């Protein structure tokens, strides 16, 4: 393993160079092949990961917990109810204390500043398991899946249709980093933040790809090799659900929209999916759908992150 990532934090895709991004993907692929062949790994033997969950999750918890086990380590689940954060302890104090007990921290939070502060005040690697700004660990699994399906990333086109949220932000950065074209289609007022669009454009200019933010989902999907969507109302936006259903209805991924993509295009979704809203069963369960391969790849991508950041 390279030592370039050892001891580092992973809060954003922007924390990685192209070389480091590929190192994570290549190591994830190797770990997957060896794990499926029955090989055991001890990269994190005797190490402990603290997992802070302000938001509940199926895939994030299982992938990191099983990943630590398969790497020979131990994962400690900490919900908001289990911690003194609920009673007013600061993130800074929490980071300092946990750093005395564990070898790494993964945090799934509402406010991105929380993972920033964990990294600032802690002395062990901090991994962003999801924040309101980004979802880097998910997007590594997404790009591993695309790479597996097409054998390359550079020169492909990714279309993202729906809410310009944390997943869209990380997809934009990753696409720019590897030279993949990306087109994001959102309703007016729901675009990804300009910071991420501009950063993605800077990266794309260096790597020979393009970044588009559009209104028309058909235009975004036309010729795409991968079509991606996410829920229209994320955790914490439940009060907006009914209004968002009306606004986002034209952005549903259905067979008609998929017909504009490349004939060999795959469908991606970070899950959980609200079937009948952002995607219909005919797409989610179709031969084009790679959503369960993508979910499985969370385990292998997360193991690569853990091993390279926390391993000796």
The CA dihedral of 50, 109, 145, 14, to the nearest 10 degrees, is -100
Q: Is 2 left (phi over 0), alpha (psi -120 to 50) or beta?
A: beta
User: Does 272 carry a binding-site annotation?
Assistant: no
**Candidate list 61, 169, 244, 298, residue with the active-site label:** 298
**Candidate list 70, 138, 252, 288, residue with the active-site label:** 138
The CA-based angle 242-236-299, given to 5 degrees, is 115
User: Does 70 carry a binding-site annotation?
Assistant: no
- 104 contacts 125 by C-beta, under 8 angstroms: yes
- 113 contacts 11 by C-beta, under 8 angstroms: no
User: Does 271 carry a binding-site annotation?
Assistant: yes
**Candidate list 112, 230, 244, 288, residue with the active-site label:** 230
User: Does 135 carry a binding-site annotation?
Assistant: yes
User: Does 58 carry a binding-site annotation?
Assistant: yes
User: Does 84 carry a binding-site annotation?
Assistant: yes
Phi, psi (rounded to 5 degrees) for 225:
-90, -25
**Candidate list 8, 135, 169, 269, residue with the active-site label:** 135
* Calpha distance 295→125 (Å, rounded): 24
Active site residue 270: yes
Active site residue 241: no
User: Does 166 carry a binding-site annotation?
Assistant: yes
**Candidate list 132, 252, 270, 300, residue with the active-site label:** 270
User: Does 259 carry a binding-site annotation?
Assistant: no
Active site residue 230: yes
Active site residue 135: yes
The CA-based angle 183-285-175, given to 5 degrees, is 25
User: Does 188 carry a binding-site annotation?
Assistant: no
User: Does 136 carry a binding-site annotation?
Assistant: yes
User: Does 234 carry a binding-site annotation?
Assistant: yes
**Candidate list 8, 61, 108, 300, residue with the active-site label:** 108
Phi, psi (rounded to 5 degrees) for 35:
-65, -45
Active site residue 212: no
Structure tokens at 236: 């914490």
Longest C-alpha distance within the chain, in Å? 54
User: Does 222 carry a binding-site annotation?
Assistant: no
> Cα separations (Å) of 311 from 3, 69, 108, 305?
9, 14, 21, 10
Give the containing element (helix H, strand E) for 79: strand 74-79
Active site residue 215: no
**Residues marked as catalytic:** 108, 135, 138, 230, 270, 298
- Give the annotated binding-site residues for L-ornithine: 166, 230, 234-235
- Give the annotated binding-site residues for carbamoyl phosphate: 57-60, 84, 108, 135-138, 270-271, 298
- Give the annotated binding-site residues: 57-60, 84, 108, 135-138, 166, 230, 234-235, 270-271, 298
């Amino acid at each position: 393993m390279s030592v370039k990532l050892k001891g580092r934090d992973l809060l954003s895709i922007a924390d990685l160079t192209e070389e480091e991004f590929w190192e994570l993907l290549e190591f994830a692929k190797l770990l997957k092949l060896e794990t499926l062949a029955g090989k055991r790994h001890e990269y994190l033997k005797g190490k402990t990961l603290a997992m802070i969950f302000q938001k509940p999750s199926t895939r994030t918890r299982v992938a990191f917990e099983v990943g630590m086990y398969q790497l020979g380590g131990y994962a400690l689940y900490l919900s908001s109810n289990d911690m003194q954060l609920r009673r007013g302890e600061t993130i800074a104090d929490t980071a300092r204390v946990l750093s005395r007990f564990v070898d790494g921290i993964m945090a799934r939070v509402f406010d991105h500043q929380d993972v920033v502060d964990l990294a600032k005040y802690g002395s062990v690697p901090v991994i962003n398991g999801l924040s309101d700004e980004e979802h880097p660990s998910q997007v590594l699994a997404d790009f591993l899946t695309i790479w597996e399906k097409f054998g390359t990333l550079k020169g492909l086109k990714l279309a993202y249709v729906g809410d310009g949220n944390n997943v869209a932000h990380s997809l934009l950065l990753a696409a720019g980093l590897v030279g993949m074209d990306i087109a994001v289609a959102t309703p007016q007022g729901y675009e990804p933040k300009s910071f991420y669009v501009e950063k993605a454009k800077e990266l794309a200019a260096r790597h020979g790809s393009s970044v588009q933010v559009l209104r028309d989902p058909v235009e975004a999907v036309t010729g795409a090799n991968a079509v991606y969507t996410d829920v229209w109302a994320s955790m914490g936006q439940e009060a907006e659900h009914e209004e968002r259903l009306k606004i986002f209805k034209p952005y549903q991924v259905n067979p008609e929209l998929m017909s504009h993509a490349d004939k060999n295009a795959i469908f991606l979704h970070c899950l959980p999916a609200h079937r009948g809203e952002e995607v219909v069963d005919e797409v989610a369960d179709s031969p084009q759908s790679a959503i369960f391969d993508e979910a499985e790849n969370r385990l292998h991508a997360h193991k690569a992150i853990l091993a390279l950041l926390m391993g000796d």
